Structure formats: C-alpha cells, structure tokens
C-alpha cells in the first residue's frame, strides 16, 4: 500500500507535459544528474524498487529526456538528439540489486529485475533513449557492496559495463570518509580503487569520483590528481550527494569539482520533473550538433569565459 501511495503521489506531482521537442535549443539550461543507490524492495530512503526504477525511465523518456554519458557531459560534448534534454544516471555503492547474474539453462544471464537488466531491456525497447550510465563501484568494500556481491562474476560485470558503453567511476576503495584521513590514505583510496578495476579492465581510467557521504578531503588536490603505490590517477569531476540540477557544462558557474546531483527518490524526482515542466526556459535543450552551441541571445553573459576554439556559438 505504501509503495502504491508513493507512486500515486509521484504521478500527481508530475503531470504529463509535452516532450522537449517543442522547446527551442537552450544549451545553457540545467541538467539532471540522477543518483541511485539500491535497486531492491521495499522502497526506502536509499532504495528504489525495480518497478519504480522502470517507471522513472518511462517518465524521463516520455518527457523528452535522453541518456547522456557523464564523461561526455563534463567534456562539453553533448550527444543527445536535437530537441531533447540530456539526463545522466549514476549508481553508487555497487550493491547487488544494481547488477546481478542468475543461473539459467546451464549458463548465466543478467537478472531482468536488477538495475542493469531493467535498463538494458528499456534501451532495447526504446533505442533512441540512448545508452549511458556511470557505476561508482567499491572494489574493496565488505559484503554486500564489493563489486555487486558476486565475486565469481566481478570481471565479467566490469567488462560488460565497459563493452556496452557504460562508465565506471571511483567511489574510493571501501567508501572512506575522505574528510577523516591524511593525504597518504586519501590518495591510496583513490589510486587503489583504480588498480582493482584495472585488474579486470586493463588500462581503464576512472575519470570521475563520487564522494562517499558527500565529504571532501581536507585538500581538494589530494583527489584531483597524483599517485599512490605506483599508480597515477586524475579526477576530472567530483560528484556531490545532493545540490539539485547541475549547471550546463558551458555555463560560467559550471564547476566539475563540485558537481551537484539529484537523489533518485520519489520526492526529489517529482520536484525536479515538475520544476522543469513549469520552468522550461531553465531546461537544457540540445541543438543536436556537438560542434555548435546554441543559446538564448540574452544569456551570452552566462557563458564560460573560455570555450573550445572550434565550438561555434549560435545565438537565437
């Protein structure tokens, strides 16, 4: 009953609106970076049920949102079709419900009720939705969060994610509160997480870091770049645990070292979907061409001071 009432509240709070295709391009609009944790039952503070996750995808698709990779977003390389809005999916903590294999006919297949299974099925049905998500894994955590809690499938899962075009992000080795530790420990947490991933996906670089508990280290430089125990790392973006919709990557106030996210819980999702329905001029709408940047004429002063020389700015 509780889950039914939550679903009804979500529907009432987010009335259907026309997709973004009816809106003019605005590549200085804001972008939702959604933050999921457990995909499981029952629905709780840090848990989204499989049914509600599927409904989230359906709602986003119907309202003109399309999947955008996190790395491309921070690079300012928007790849979603013209008239649609990029949305970034992130999954923290590598819990079992995010990615699970089940035995079938003497082999293994992805559990259709896990996060990856639901996402793969939806993309198959709606290929124009795109294919993108970032999984912030915990390679050295205790059960059940150590790389999705199936030791025999760790490599298979990481390799599948990369092969399918998903991204792997750094969440430290075992979800360390970085504000509590000295420089050596912080650097080791970042570097060793990359080492663990590279055991299964050689040469893969973890470009983004999701802060455990949302806590920054005492010195930001410790996680931005450096080395520990013979491993070199570089972090191009640091994701917070809250903060709302993110600025456009072309906006002057875009700060990749403090990238806000929206927690994918009923109340917050409903709020932001409703917000952009009521404030369409604040929503990022793609012009469909990564080589051009289309903005409202009166927003020129909001642009970054430094843009790629080959990026053509179009004012409308």
Q: How confident is the model at residue 135 (pLDDT cuts 50, 70, 90)?
A: very high
Nearest-10 Cα torsion for 112, 118, 119, 123: 90
CB-based contacts of 94: which residues, under 8 Å, 6+ apart? 135, 136, 137, 138, 141, 145, 146, 147, 148, 149, 171
Share the mean pLDDT of the chain. 94
* pLDDT surpassing 90 at residue 11: no
**Region 220-247: what's the mean pLDDT?**
97
Given this model, what pLDDT does residue 4 score? 44
* pLDDT surpassing 70 at residue 217: yes
- Summarised one tens digit per residue, pLDDT across range 47-60 is 999 999 999 999 99
- Summarised one tens digit per residue, pLDDT across range 304-315 is 999 988 999 999
**Region 149-153: what's the mean pLDDT?**
97
Q: Give the CATH number of domain 2-315.
A: 3.20.20.370
Given this model, what pLDDT does residue 12 score? 40
> What DSSP line would sit under 269-308, residue for residue?
HHHHHHHHHH-GGGB-B--S-TTEEEE-GGGGGGB-S---
Q: How confident is the model at residue 20 (pLDDT cuts 50, 70, 90)?
A: low
Does the pTM surpass 0.75? The reply is yes
What are the percentages of helix, strand and coil residues in the chain, rounded to 5?
A: 40, 25, 40
CA 143 and chain centroid, separation: 23
Structure tokens at 221: 């430089």
CB-based contacts of 230: which residues, under 8 Å, 6+ apart? none
Give me the residue spans of the domains in the chain. Answer: 2-315
Given this model, what pLDDT does residue 132 score? 98
- Summarised one tens digit per residue, pLDDT across range 74-99 is 999 999 999 999 999 999 999 999 99
- Cross-strand pairs, 47: 38, 44
- Summarised one tens digit per residue, pLDDT across range 168-199 is 999 999 999 999 999 999 999 999 999 999 99
Given this model, what pLDDT does residue 22 score? 83
C-alpha to C-alpha distance for 46 and 3, rounded to whole angstroms: 14
* pLDDT surpassing 80 at residue 15: no
Q: Is 2 helix (H, G, I), strand (E, B) or coil?
A: helix
Helix (H) or strand (E) holding 222: helix 221-224
| Nearest alpha-carbon partner for 244 in 91, 30, 9, 17 | 30
* pLDDT surpassing 70 at residue 13: no
């Amino acid at each position: 009953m509780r889950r039914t009432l939550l679903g009804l509240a979500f529907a009432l709070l987010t009335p259907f609106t026309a997709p973004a295709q009816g809106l003019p391009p605005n590549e200085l609009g804001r972008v939702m970076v959604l933050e999921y944790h457990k995909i499981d039952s029952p629905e709780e503070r840090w848990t989204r049920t499989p049914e509600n996750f599927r409904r989230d995808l359906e709602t986003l698709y119907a309202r003109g949102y399309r999947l955008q990779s996190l790395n491309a977003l921070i690079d300012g390389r928007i790849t979603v079709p013209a008239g649609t809005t990029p949305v970034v999916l992130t999954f923290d903590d590598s819990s079992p419900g995010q990615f699970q294999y089940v035995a079938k006919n003497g082999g293994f297949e992805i559990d259709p009720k896990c996060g990856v299974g639901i996402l793969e099925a939806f993309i198959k049905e709606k290929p124009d939705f795109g294919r993108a998500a970032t999984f912030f894994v915990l390679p050295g955590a205790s059960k059940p969060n150590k790389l999705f809690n199936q030791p025999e499938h760790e490599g298979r899962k990481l390799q599948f994610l990369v092969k399918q075009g998903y991204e792997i992000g750094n969440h430290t080795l075992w979800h360390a509160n970085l504000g509590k530790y000295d420089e050596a420990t912080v650097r080791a947490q970042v570097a060793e997480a990359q080492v663990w991933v590279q055991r299964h996906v050689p040469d893969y670089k973890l470009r983004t870091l999701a802060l455990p508990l949302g806590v920054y280290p005492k010195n930001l430089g410790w996680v931005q770049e450096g080395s520990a125990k013979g491993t070199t790392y570089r972090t191009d973006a640091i994701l917070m645990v809250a903060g709302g919709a993110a600025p456009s990557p072309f906006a002057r106030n875009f700060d990749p070292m403090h990238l806000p996210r929206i927690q994918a819980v009923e109340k917050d999702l409903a709020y932001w979907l409703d917000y952009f329905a009521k404030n369409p001029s604040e929503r990022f709408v793609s012009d469909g061409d990564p080589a051009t940047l289309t903005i409202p004429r009166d927003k020129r002063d909001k642009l970054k001071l430094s843009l790629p020389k080959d990026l053509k700015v179009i004012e409308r």
